[in-house]
Amino acid sequence: MKEINKKLLENPEVFDFTVDSLGPRNIPSPVKDRTFVEDEERVLFHSSLSEIQQLVTEGKSLPSFEKGGPREKIFHDPCWTRAAIVTCGGLCPGLNDVIKGLVKVLHFDYGVSNIFGIKYGYRGLIPEYGYSPIALDPDVVDTIHADGGTILGSSRGEQDISDMVDTLQRLNINMLFCVGGDGTLSGAKRIAEEIIDRKQPITVIGVPKTIDNDLSFIDRTFGFETAVYASSPIITCAHNEAKGAERGIGLVKLMGRDSGFVAASASLSNSIVNYCLIPEVEFEFEGPNGLLKALENRFAIGKDHAVIVVAEGAGQNLFKGEEEKRDKSGNILKHDIGIYLKEKIKEHFNNTGNPQDEVTVKYFDPSYMIRSVPAEGTDAIFCFTLAEYAVHAAMAGKTNMVVGYWNNQYTHLPISLATMKRRKIDTEGTLWHSVLGATRQNDYFENN
């Protein structure tokens, strides 16, 4: 973020905030009781007075996002609109809320009655897999918000872009909502571009899904808030197990491939964590500054237990020299830091020959128990609202974009921008400083 901020101050033109459109909008919107939003309304990227003043002084443009919301004139004729929804990748709280939101807003606000759910991610757009779309209406989705998972099913991996566009054309779909993460959105981008090449009036709108909450130009992604809520009782269990044994260590692996937002937030929300390890902060395992020594230091001052929360992407430096593996989508697979810590900590303390050194490690890997719960409370609202803005954008004929959220406002941004760079925890900022304050972990690391 800081890096991006700096670039945007120095050279705002580097980033292209312009959203693609299928064409001019002539149809009056059927949406009632709403203040319509003009395309010219934009949300400032910067929120700092001095940064704005600097740009103004230097005569530079002020970087900004297109503002989301209903347009007075729309592109797609509701009567002829056939919308499709696809959910891809791993589960995330709120998928069903997004589906429900899309269906209700399409149906009630715009009067769209042809809405289809694509089964099992992009595979559902490939005829060979043999999945038929399912018809969606407000009755079908009425209570799905109370269930975790996705009623459409999901899958991982890429599919042939051309084949998928063929399917959309064959089904007369003119509006595709893609709910998914990086890989999914890259796919959506290529679908949108292929459609533009074919000069088809098909809108492609992404709803970004990352439980890690790590998108650079989006303040918040759906499911993250629920993930933090759901992590808390598991940390309490780890604490109870740790307290229940001599030199007990409760070790919890949480989501976070490249960014530690879930691990840091969970550690702060249930502040009985003693060590929080995230990808943004490299740590040693052995040696005078290592984690083992930090654990020894804690035991040495008479503390009888320890709770460690580790993000799945943390400590990858410890695997240097090991072979790199990739998943179906070509992503580098992270080495399993949870299992590594569990085994190596046991090995270190329990093989000294001195029973006094022995520790008991209880390992928790709750990922699926967090991803599969329903979104609740304000997170559920966020899902519904994201879906609403996705529909407004789609009906207006926007394409190749995702719905974002910036400074409490819903925005449109090109897919390319959304997937450009991952957001990281600012290790000199509030969140991480609060985590350090709550855990006091640096008291145990020698070099701090």
What residues numbered 35-54 form the site for its own copies, per CB under 8 A? 35, 40-44, 46-50, 52-53
437 belongs to the binding site for its own copies (CB under 8 A): yes
Cα 283 to its chain centre, rounded Å, is 25
Residue matched to tokens 């490939």 = 126
174 belongs to the binding site for its own copies (CB under 8 A): no
318 belongs to the binding site for its own copies (CB under 8 A): no
Residue 110 contacts by C-beta under 8 Å, 6 or more apart in sequence? 29, 30, 31, 74, 78, 81, 391, 395
Site for its own copies in 386-425 (CB under 8 A): 388-389, 407-410
List Cα–Cα distances, 117 to 96, 103, 321, 417, in angstroms. Answer: 11, 10, 44, 27
| Cα–Cα distance, 343 to 284 (Å, whole number) | 16
Closest CB 315 distance from its own copies, rounded Å: 20
Closest CB 285 distance from its own copies, rounded Å: 22
Size of interface with its own copies, in residues (CB under 8 A):
97
Chosen residue from 10, 14, 79, 143 binding its own copies by CB under 8 A: 143
| Cα–Cα distance, 14 to 39 (Å, whole number) | 22
Q: Which two tokens stand for residue 447?
A: 């070099």
| Cα–Cα distance, 163 to 90 (Å, whole number) | 23
Site for its own copies in 260-279 (CB under 8 A): 265, 268-272
Closest CB 50 distance from its own copies, rounded Å: 6
Q: Is the Cβ of residue 162 or residue 378 nearer to its own copies in the bound state?
A: 378
Residue matched to tokens 């990352």 = 210
Site for its own copies in 68-127 (CB under 8 A): 69, 91, 100, 104-105, 108-109, 120, 123
Q: Is the Cβ of residue 236 or residue 331 nearer to its own copies in the bound state?
A: 236
Coil vs helix vs strand at 24: coil
Determine which helix (DSSP H) or strand (DSSP E) holds 269, and give its type and residue range.
helix 261-269
Q: Indicate if 327 belongs to the active site.
A: no
381 belongs to the binding site for its own copies (CB under 8 A): yes
Exposed, middle or buried, 90 (CB in 10 Å: 0-12/13-18/19+)?
A: middle
Q: Is the Cβ of residue 287 or residue 429 nearer to its own copies in the bound state?
A: 429
Catalytic position from the list 97, 182, 212, 214 = 212
Q: Is the Cβ of residue 192 or residue 268 nearer to its own copies in the bound state?
A: 268
18 belongs to the binding site for its own copies (CB under 8 A): no
Chosen residue from 58, 327, 440, 447 binding its own copies by CB under 8 A: 440
288 belongs to the binding site for its own copies (CB under 8 A): no
Which of 331, 359, 324, 354 has its CA nearest to residue 344? 359
Site for its own copies in 230-249 (CB under 8 A): 232, 234, 236-241, 243-246, 248
Site for its own copies in 323-352 (CB under 8 A): none
Instruction: State whether the Cα torsion 424-426-427-432 is positive or negative.
Output: negative
329 contacts 88 by C-beta, under 8 angstroms: no
Exposed, middle or buried, 226 (CB in 10 Å: 0-12/13-18/19+)?
A: buried
Chosen residue from 113, 200, 216, 434 binding its own copies by CB under 8 A: 434
Which residues are marked as active site? 212
